[in-house]
């Protein structure tokens, strides 16, 4: 079965990688959620497969599993709902979901 929005086969994906998140010292959210965010290090900063950059507040959102195109994430610092998409350069980026 093909999802017309993703133009990829649904259900034929490999299992997602799992990640253990450690405390990053990000103090702009409650202590319970601090491991899911970190500060963006600028253009030289590289993102892991479980990270995506919030285009609104430039905070890196982290997940315990690998992020893929179509996944939805939430940025608690700026309260934005985001959808993971692939940029023109082939990297994962977040797009604000207004719906």
Q: What is the DSSP letter of 18?
A: B
SS3 34: helix
- pLDDT at site 5: 47
The pLDDT of residue 13 is: 73
Mean of the pLDDT values across residues 58-85? 95
Distance of CA 68 to the CA centre of its chain: 8
pLDDT of residue 72: 95
17 alpha-carbon distance from chain centroid: 14
How many CB atoms neighbour CB 9 within 10 A?
A: 10
Q: Residue 11 and residue 53: Cα distance in Å, rounded?
A: 26
pLDDT tens for residues 74-93? Answer: 999 999 999 999 988 778 88
* CB 93, CB 54: distance < 8 Å: no
- Given a cut of 80, is residue 8 above it in pLDDT? no
pLDDT at position 3 is 46
**Res 7: pLDDT:** 52
């Amino acid at each position: 079965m093909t999802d017309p929005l993703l133009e990829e086969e649904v259900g034929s994906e490999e299992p997602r990688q799992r990640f253990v998140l450690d405390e990053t010292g990000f103090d702009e959210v409650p202590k319970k959620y601090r491991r899911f965010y970190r500060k963006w290090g600028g253009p030289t900063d590289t993102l892991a497969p479980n990270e995506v950059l919030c285009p609104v507040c430039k905070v890196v959102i982290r997940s315990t599993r690998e992020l893929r195109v179509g996944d939805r994430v939430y940025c608690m610092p700026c309260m934005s709902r985001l959808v993971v998409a692939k940029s023109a350069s082939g990297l994962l980026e977040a797009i604000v979901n207004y719906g």
